[in-house]
């Protein structure tokens, strides 16, 4: 599969088989992430690979955040929320959390650090696709919650930018849908064109 084809045929796949994914493939996916462009070579990414019961780290965090949001911190509510979180974290055999740890160098622009990690995630999604695996990049408010940072030992200035739920596809990809590029493009060939 060439890059052009990978870009156009990659689709988010929310339903994957429970079968394990080989360690070498996971390492290849992560390494693809590290080849993303990054300004001043800060390499601001951090990857958390969760498999088996390791997914409880995410499940418990999702549960705790849900319980905290509901304002009900009774033991029963927390147990129920954690179970709900666990169910979410167990939707795929592998979940990779991708976080940004922005450089503390004052010359580095924080927004660019986020950009580099988003680019890393896209690299990973394309690599996943090329390997015949499927994935969906999930976020949502809990992803950015401070309890999520605590669960993964991230500092307050760091941020989890998404969880890639990975496995062997167990669904047909939906039809890809995009507006024509022309509708998003301004060609400034002459000063009078705008
Ligand atoms: C920053 C970001 C966050 C996303 N979060 C979610 C999510 O929480 N749940 C989900 O089902 N898909 C999520 N997606 C995937 C998009 O829904 C998906 O890319 C979009 O529907 C286009 O489909 P495609 O990826 O198959 O082209 C996210 C994508 C991005 C870029």
Question: Tens digits of per-residue pLDDT, 60-113?
Answer: 999 999 888 877 778 888 888 888 888 999 999 999 999 999 999 999 999 999
Residue 176's SS3 state is: coil
Measured in Å, residue 48 CA sits from the centre of ligand 1 at: 19
Rounded mean pLDDT, 158-164: 98
Residue 170 has pLDDT above 90, yes or no: yes
Alpha carbon nearest to ligand 1 atom 25, residue? 12
For CA atoms 155, 156, 161, 162, give the dihedral sign: positive
Q: CA nearest 1: which of 122, 120, 126?
A: 126
Residue 169 predicted with pLDDT over 90: yes
- Mean pLDDT for 30-37 is 98
CA torsion angle 101 104 106 107 (round to 10):
-50
What's residue 101's pLDDT? 98
Task: Decide: 59 and 89 in contact? Cβ < 8 Å.
Answer: yes
| Joined tokens for residue 116 | 């580099």
User: What percent of the chain has a predicted confidence (pLDDT) above 90?
Assistant: 86
Pocket of ligand 1 (CB under 6 A): 11-12, 14, 136-140, 162, 176
Mutate to test the pocket of ligand 1, among 95, 134, 136 (most ligand atoms within 8 A of CB): 136
Which atom of ligand 1 is nearest the CA belonging to 125? 25
Which atom of ligand 1 is nearest to 173's Cα? 26
Ligand 1 midpoint to CA 129 (Å) = 15
Cα of 137 from ligand 1 centre, angstroms: 6
H helix intervals, the chain: 3-9, 23-34, 56-70, 75-89, 110-130, 146-151
pLDDT, one tens digit per residue, over 102-149 is 999 999 999 999 999 999 999 999 999 999 999 999 999 999 999 999
Distance from the alpha carbon of residue 52 to the mean position of ligand 1, in angstroms: 24
């Amino acid at each position: 599969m060439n890059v052009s084809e990978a870009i156009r045929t990659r689709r988010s796949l929310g339903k994957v088989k429970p079968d394990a994914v080989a360690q070498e493939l996971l390492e290849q996916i992560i390494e693809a992430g590290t080849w993303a462009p990054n300004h001043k070579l800060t390499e601001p990414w951090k990857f958390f690979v969760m498999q088996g019961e390791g997914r409880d780290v995410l499940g418990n965090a999702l549960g705790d955040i849900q319980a905290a949001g509901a304002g009900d911190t009774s033991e029963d509510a927390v147990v129920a929320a954690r179970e709900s979180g666990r169910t979410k974290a167990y939707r795929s055999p592998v979940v990779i959390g991708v976080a940004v740890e922005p450089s503390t160098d004052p010359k580095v622009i924080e927004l660019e650090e986020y950009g580099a990690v988003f680019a890393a995630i896209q690299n990973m999604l394309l690599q996943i696709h090329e390997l015949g695996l499927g994935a969906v990049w999930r976020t949502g408010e809990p992803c950015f919650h401070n309890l999520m940072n605590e669960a993964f030992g991230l500092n307050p200035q760091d941020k989890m930018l998404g969880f890639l739920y990975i496995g062997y596809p167990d669904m047909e990809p939906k039809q890809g849908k995009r507006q024509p590029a022309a509708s998003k493009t301004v060609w400034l060939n002459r000063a009078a064109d705008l």
